[in-house]
Structure 1
Amino acid sequence: MTESPAPPSWTLPLVEVCISEFDRAGLPETGTVFDRLLALRPAHVVVDLSRCRHIDAAAIGLLLDVHRRLVRADGVLTVRNPNPRIRRILHTARLDQVLPIVIDAEAGGGDEPVPAAPSPIAHGRASVTARH
């Protein structure tokens, strides 16, 4: 008798989060949203930064923490559509060497490929807006 493979460690294939403010002032609220999101055990989390105008070192640290937590659960974190300024900050912090940063064609990314996401059987959306 052969054993059946273990079920996946995730419960949702894809969760998208749109962040409009991503700095130390809003980090407690944003961190709480990520804690709740990760409790759902998603396979793939996409953080959409298309509406975000500022990111600081604390926010980058949070992204790295979320990335590490997802990797431990065999998940993936992708950053989508940061503006050119934030893209430079992420590049300077070498975040682009740690996790995928994708630019949709509509957002001015040209022909850059977007990694394939797990098929969305069910997915959720969360919007995070930090209040100062």
Structure 2
Amino acid sequence: MGIEKGSGGMQVTSAVDGSRAVVKASGELDVATAPELRAYLHELVDNGASTVVVDLTDVGFLDSTTLGVLISVHKRLVETGGVVELVVPHARLLRIFQITGLDRVFTIHASPADATV
């Protein structure tokens, strides 16, 4: 896709290589931006992505609505043998995934380079 979208405090870009999409999000991912993020990620899946890597390196804030978006995409992909992977290099965001137990649901990478395997 290689497109850029954004509203409010969020920007999202993606690069697609075959069935693998790498999505780089930046800014604030919250109740105001979650619908756009959901539509964006589901569009990637609709267009054939079976592996979606969401890079949260430049995300300053993430709320429970965003967690719901990630879970919905994960559930959809798992049904067809796909996967959602996350890049979460910052301890403050990683802690959210640990507290909620989502670190056991998603494969979480410490850096974008780790996710390119």
- TM range, normalised to the smaller chain? 0.7 to 0.9
Which residue of the partner structure matches residue 4 of structure 2?
A: none
Correspondence 1:14 to 2:14? no
Q: For the Cα contact (< 8 Å) 1:24–1:56, is it kept in 2?
A: yes
> Would you say 1:38 and 2:56 are equivalent positions?
no
1:61 aligns with 2:68: yes
The residue that corresponds to 2:107 in the other structure is 100
Two-structure CA RMSD over aligned residues (Å): 2.1
**Normalized against structure 2, the TM-score is what?**
0.76
Report if the CA contact (8 A) 1:48-1:82 is conserved.
no
Alignment length (residue pairs): 100
Q: Which amino acid counterpart does residue 109 of structure 2 have in structure 1?
A: V
Task: Give 5+ residue unaligned stretches, structure 2.
Answer: 1-16
1:58 and 1:45, CA in 2 relative to 1: closer, same or farther beyond 3 A? same
Q: Which has the higher contact order (CA 8 A, sep 6+)?
A: 1
**CA distance in 2: counterparts of 1:17 and 1:55, whole angstroms:** 15
Cα distance change, pair 23–82 in 1 and its aligned pair in 2 (3 A): farther
Structure with max Cα Rg: 1
User: How far apart are residue 82 of structure 1 and its match?
Assistant: 4.0
Higher strand share: 2
- Structure 1 ranges of 4+ moved more than 6 A: none
Hey, what does 1:23 align to over in structure 2?
30
State the TM-score, normalizing by the size of structure 1.
0.68
Report the Cα distance in structure 2 between the residues aligned to 1:105 and 1:55, rounded to whole angstroms. Answer: 18
Q: Matched residues in 1 for 2:50 and 2:112: separation?
A: 24
